[in-house]
Structures are given as C-alpha cells and as structure tokens.
Structure 1
C-alpha cells in the first residue's frame, strides 16, 4: 500500500500580511511540493462552501436534463470551447478509449470588441436552470482569484516578481468545467472515467474533490490516491507552466479511476478550473529556469493559443 501523501497547505500563511516570516516559509514549502508532486492541496482559500454547494446543485440539475435538451447547447466544430460536450468525445492523449464523462464549459466574459473575441466566444447559458449563470460564473471568478494568488507564490519561489503573472493571465482563456461521470453499470467497460493525462494550461484548481477516484502518478511510478478534505481545493501544474519553467514545475500525470463495488454505481461530479494565460502570451522558457543541470528543453517559443489548439487536436476535441 502506498504511504506517500501529497501535502495540503493553508494559503492564509501567504495572504495574511501580519506574518511575513511565515509567508516566506509558505512559498518555500509550496514550491518544494510542486517540484516533487506537481500537485498540492490548498485550504484557507476563502471560497464560501455555500457557493460551491449551490453551484454543484445547479450543475447536477443541468446534467439530469434529457439528452435532446442538453444537445441544444452543443456547438459542433467548436472544440467544446463553450456550452455542452456529450459523453464519449474527449479522449486522453494516446488513449484507445474515450472518457466516460459529459461536461460544460464556462469561459471568461469579455466585451465583443476585445482583441481576443475571435478565440474566446461568448458563453452559453442553459435556460432550463436559471441559477446556472450566476453560480457558475461566481465560482469561475472565485477560482480565478485564488489561482492568481497561487501563481504569485510560485513566481516568488523561482525568483520572479510576485506580480509576474498578473498581466499575463488577466485576460486568460480560462475555463470552468462542470463534469458528470455516470454510474458504471457493467463490469466490462474498458475505459476509466478519465484516462491518464496531463492538463494543458498553467494551473488547474479542482473544487469539491472530496469524491474518491483522483490518482496522481508519483516520481517512483506509483499511483497515489488524492482524496481531499471538503474544505480543500486541489491545485496542479499544467503543461504550459511546465514548459515555461523548463520542467522546474512538473505537469504530473493523473487520472480518475472507477471506484470499487457499489460506489461505482453512483454518479461522480467534478468541477475543475483550468487557468490559462492570455491567448497571445508567448510561452518561452524563463532564463531563471535554465542551468547547466537543466538546459532549455524548448528552444522554439509558442503562443498560448497555438499550444492550446495543438493540444485540443490531440485529445480529439478539435
């Protein structure tokens, strides 16, 4: 039985200005945790439990609608950028089988005259669940703000200014993704609920991760279960930040497995927030993350939007 445990840290040690010494210690501990795991639990985040619970309730009510109603909000050819994506579409890179999930995408609200409008379309909102918009976007904004705090601490850990990421993510093409994994009703289904994969973006924040199933691949090649406490948000590194930091912050492989026994016959709901940089941000290896022991692995820079489109094709969303 694996005994390794992914740490959970209280971010109030970083956000509370009354304890600067503990702030430095938090940055050191968080950075070390991400260097080792690419994952951490964050508590003390200040996101109201009531908001999370009510948002989950709205999402569940949408997924309970008839399939023909949900399909009204599916936009073919959009790569699932907004609205509804049905079951058995997204497929983990190099996986033989599609994931057992349906999901919805909420993106950033921007004005129509924004230079990013061409790649960040307007949101869709299901009229059948009136609270979906207020609660979904409220949770989006809360997780976006928390993600910015985590990035500030990560910037300090690698010798960058605290606000380094602020003007690189303020119009980020970030996504809130409510997911429904259906009950597993037959024992012969070959695919897991979400196949082994790494995330595309800068960081991912998973709220309501207290259901069993999430597993993280350790440096030793062991699958480590990560079932967080109810007040904890799981935050992990994505491939864009791994590339920017030349693997100083690793994007760790993870999956969602089917639970054993009767638990497999229950649906699972999950709401990750994928924090992206601005579409025109150029991902170019940071000089501070290059050394004799860690030479640059990515001599060619790429824009965040170019990288996103490349990866969406790999996972069969485009």
Structure 2
C-alpha cells in the first residue's frame, strides 16, 4: 500500500522513541506518561484501525534505497519475474504476478452488501476479479524449527540479477518489523493486557516483507483499482512511505480518507489476527488502493524528473506464529467474543484466508 493523499488531520503521529528507550532498551516498566501514550495509541487503533508512527531506527534513506531496488525489479520483463513464482507455497515466498490475488470481498455477499450501504462519498469501489498488481514476498526474521505449517514458513526466493537483494530486504524489513513490535507492546499496555501478550505470540512467526508493484504506465485511468477493498489477514501491517498516492482507509465511523504520511514516518494497519485476539475491540481495517487525480499528478511529476512510474509499496506483514493459538485474550475473552472468534491455530486461519483470496492452489493441503 503506502502513503498518499491529502487528509492527515485524523491521523496523529505517535513517536515510539520514549517507550523504546525506557521499556525496550532499558527494560523498565512504563511510567504514567507512557501508559497514557499507550492508551492513546490503542484508542487510535480502535477508532481508525490505523496508526502513523515515527521510529528513529527507520530513516527515510533506507526506505528510499529499498524502493529503488524494488522499482528496478518490477521493471523487468514479466517472464524474468515469473522465474521467482512459487504457487506451491501459496505465493507466500517469491513473486505473485498481477491478476492472481483476488480481494475476498469480491466473493463475499456480506461485504458487497456493506459496500452498497455505504454513503456515496465514502463508498468503496466494488472489487471485480483479481487485482492488477504484482507482489514479492520475502520472509523476515527466524522461522520455527518445528511447525505444522511448513508451506507458510518456506525458504526465501532470491532474484537472479539483484546481488544486493537479501541485504537490502533484511535491513529495511527488520527495521520495520522492530517498529511494529514496539507498537505491539504499546498497544498491549494501552489495552490493559500483559505487555508481552502480543509479542510473545509473534516469535518465529511468518513475517513477510511484501512490496507490491503497480505499473502506472500500463494502468493509468482514474478509478483503476490496484488493490480491491479488503482487510489484511495478519496481525499488524506496517508500511514505509510510497512515492505515489492512492491508499484509502475506512475509519470505524465509516469515513473513507486518503492516507498521507509525513516524511520519515510509518503507517500501521490492524489485521484480522489482532481483531481475533481483542475479540473485535480493534477491527481489521478496510482499505483499497486506487489510481486517483493525486496519483495522476504524481505520475506526471515522476515523468518530468525521469523517475520510475511503478507504484511500489514498502510493506511488512507482521504475523502471529503459525502454531500459536488465536483466541480473545484477557478481558476480551467474553462468551460472545469466544463464540465469534473461535480458538484455532494462527496457521489454520491464514490458510483459510489464502484459500479464499486464491493464493492457495487447488489440491494443496
């Protein structure tokens, strides 16, 4: 996804440095001021399913170096990129070509009904078939030595013509994942859970650095949908700033807003797994990526400056470990929540979602 647009008033920037310094690096418990910041952060996630944060360990130049490399990768011929395709691993490593990933909403009558009820000025584009975007999945962080879900924890794919690939991906992906883990701790504190409630379940999880690539030379009509209306299936998603606008998110009150990130900031979005663990206190955020007037203007500027017009996202999907249990935690484990969010392995939840969005090929267990 990535940032763009013009409305940032409802998205405050949370500085992670005070919590990072005191609680992560020094191992101390949060004081009252930090607890208040954690409560505000959790409340923002409840209200918007999104956060804008700043982490001193995630400088813009690292994001730019990563975007430069990914733009060059997606600019290759399609046949070259398809050498990196791994459908037998549910596309959870390597490249996913355009026209493969299908928004779940396009096959969900309840979701389509929700869109029909949205007021016109906040209505999502109705997803029609597969998205015209590419994606590349690279694992970030260690994987478990034993797991029931080997296909979700496969070895990474290294493209042939990019010797810097592994180093660049590990550098930027690890930094974004580290920021995400700080948010996970702060959110747990803000929700009144044990500070480590989320991060303990994230150990050895199938975290993925997963940039998308949309060819704005090929798809350049206003209203073209690159990522149809959907939520993310994982725990939390984090993005560095994109070079082209187009991401729209829905707040809990139903408003659709374009996302704009200040330079040097990161965007987080709530996924289905945090909804599960909080019994719906935090909802997986709905969003879409669309070619807008702002995208068109950014393309014109990029052409003038001789830059790439591939719209690349700088994205990490933070997951709960495949073999860890998903169920409402602590005070969220009400009878109603337990009935709606049934206890299961995170890996089973992921595989069900992948099957629905056509990333789990027929015949695979």
Whether these two folds match at TM > 0.5 is: yes
Q: 1:202 is matched with which residue?
A: 235
Q: How does 1:70-109 map to 2 (within 5 A)?
A: 70-95=81-106, 96-108=128-140
Question: Secondary structure at 2:257's aligned position in 1?
Answer: strand
Of 170, 177, 184 in structure 2, the residue corresponding to residue 137 of structure 1 is: 170
- The number of equivalent residue pairs is 317
Of 288, 305, 312 in structure 1, the residue corresponding to residue 347 of structure 2 is: 305
Shift of 1:185: 4.7
| 1:280 and 2:323 aligned | yes
Distance in 1 separating the partners of 2:214 and 2:220: 16
Shift of 1:164: 2.1
1:247 to 1:162, Cα distance in 2 relative to 1, 3 A = same
Q: How does 1:182-197 map to 2 (within 5 A)?
A: 182-183=215-216, 185=218, 191-197=224-230
Residue deviations 1:151-177 (CA, integer Å, cap 9, x gap)? 101111122221222331110111111
Question: Secondary structure at 1:134's aligned position in 2?
Answer: helix
Whichever structure has more helix as a proportion of its residues is: 2
Distance in 2 separating the partners of 1:27 and 1:64: 41
Distance in 2 separating the partners of 1:102 and 1:56: 14
| 1:256 and 2:299 aligned | no
| Aligned partners of 1:35 and 1:248 also within 8 Å | yes
Residue deviations 1:87-125 (CA, integer Å, cap 9, x gap)? 111111122221121111001454795446723110010
Q: 2:310 is matched with which residue?
A: 267
Q: 1:314 is matched with which residue?
A: 356
Q: 1:239 is matched with which residue?
A: 272
Distance in 2 separating the partners of 1:76 and 1:3: 38
Shift of 1:145: 1.3
Task: Give the TM-score of the pair, scaled to structure 1.
Answer: 0.91
What RMSD over aligned residues (CA atoms) do the two structures have, in Å? 2.5
| Structure 1 outlier segments of 4+, above 6 Å | 186-190
Shift of 1:3: 8.5
What runs of 5+ residues in structure 1 fail to find an aligned partner? none
| 1:172 and 2:238 aligned | no
| Aligned partners of 1:110 and 1:117 also within 8 Å | no
Task: Give the TM-score of the pair, scaled to structure 2.
Answer: 0.80
1:190 to 1:138, Cα distance in 2 relative to 1, 3 A = same
1:17 to 1:108, Cα distance in 2 relative to 1, 3 A = closer
Question: Secondary structure at 1:15's aligned position in 2?
Answer: helix
1:217 to 1:311, Cα distance in 2 relative to 1, 3 A = same
